[in-house]
Amino acid sequence: MKILVLNGPNLARLDIRDSSIYGDFTYPQLVTFIQEGATALGFTADVRQSNEEAQIIGWLHEAADDLTPVIINPAAFTHYSYAIRDAAELLKAPLIEVHLSNPMAREEFRHTSVISGVAKGTIAGFGPNSYILALSAMKNLLGK
Ligand code: DQA
């Protein structure tokens, strides 16, 4: 079964982001880590990244049409994109929100997620393992 894993703005540049917050993985390493974790759990992960809100909304519409489960790290869009929230609300299969860092332990503007209200749950603060924990939670949700 396919799981769509969506990553928002700036996540493809983990190589130049603050490693004390985001760790030492590059984005290509993160993608491989997610794909391998998904395979071990019996899933295929379709991992995508975009810096553009419209692109992410389009991918969510595609997942809504195809009944695909979604794991999303909306990155900075987490905190203000009502358009991504509205698109996420259209999904029929479960949605899990993930973050590499723990936004609640960071600046106040990161304490709000406009996405959490339409997600089954949120996993944050475990670095790349946040995605593996989300895949495992997805497996339980889908009863696989
Ligand atoms: C992030 C947290 C967001 O606040 C931030 O804007 C990001 C990454 C994370 O994975 O920790 O770009 O979503």
Task: Using the predicted structure, report yes or no on whether residue 144 has a pLDDT greater than 80.
Answer: no
| Known catalytic membership, residue 79 | no
Each domain of the chain, given as residue ranges in start order, spans: 2-142
Q: Evaluate: CB of 115 within 6 angstroms of ligand 1.
A: no
Q: Evaluate: CB of 3 within 6 angstroms of ligand 1.
A: no
- HSE at residue 79, side-chain half, CA atoms within 13 A, is 13
Task: Using the predicted structure, report yes or no on whether residue 24 has a pLDDT greater than 80.
Answer: yes
Angle between helices 129-142 and 27-40 (to 10 degrees): 30
Query: Which of ligand 1's atoms lies nearest the C-alpha of 21?
Result: 11
110 C-alpha to center of ligand 1: Å? 8
| Known catalytic membership, residue 22 | yes
Q: Average of pLDDT values for 4-24?
A: 96
Quote the pTM value: 0.98
CATH of domain 2-142: 3.40.50.9100
